A = this chain, B = another copy of it.
Amino acid sequence: MTELKTDPRIVRTRKLIMDAFIELSSQKEFKDITVKDITTKAMINRATFYYHFQDIYDLLEKALSEVLLINLNYEKYENAALDEETIADIFLAVTKFQQSLSTRCHRGYEDTIARIIREQLEVIFYKMLLREHGLKDDSALKLAAGMLSWGIYGASVKWRQNSELGPEEFIKKAVPYLLHGVSKSFNGVHSCTSVGGKDGRI
């Protein structure tokens, strides 16, 4: 829907840059990676880099977003119900993504990464909520999506601090709280028509 096709050169060049950056990230820390390093490995001109990205931090954000989105396997959730199982799946994808990052060294950029994860989650949750509730109260949906994303990310932080349980068991214990908490406030304040109780859907 409303897809305006982008120039193939742009797709190709972005991919070259992203791949080069991810490869470099596995070799040295982010703070030691220069734009020249990336463009050399990507076989493009340095000026072209700035045609696509604001700066190297912009690249970091977009690269991480992309990798996370792939990890999140977005098409899978596109039409899934926002139930316990889906949330558990997403939580697993997030923890898996964070573990894949921990090997590379991004010390000092935890906040950026956290924000990216939350933003991505928020977009996904918003789309799912929108599909289930329509847009009669958009700001409420956005609020719910935001809170869910913070909740999931917070859960992943909690889990890393206290990893006695496996991620599966951990999220299964946490998810009822998340779902009913969000569900209650959402239904209570805005009297949404959908029934929050039946199968755990919001």
Interface residues of A (CB under 8 A from B): 8, 11-12, 15, 43-45
Contacts and interface: CB of A to CB of B under 8 A. Distances in A.
Name the residue in A12, A15, A44 with the highest tally of chain B Cβ atoms < 10 Å from its Cβ.
Answer: A12
A192 B73 CA distance: 71
Contact of A43 (B8, B43, B44, B45): B8
Nearest to A15: B43
How many copies the complex holds: the figure is: 2
A112 to B, nearest CB: 29
Contacts of A12: 43-44
Contacts of A45: 8
Nearest to A45: B8
A54 B5 CA distance: 30
7 contacts: A8-B43, A8-B44, A8-B45, A11-B43, A12-B43, A12-B44, A15-B43
Contacts of A44: 8, 12
A12 B12 CA distance: 11
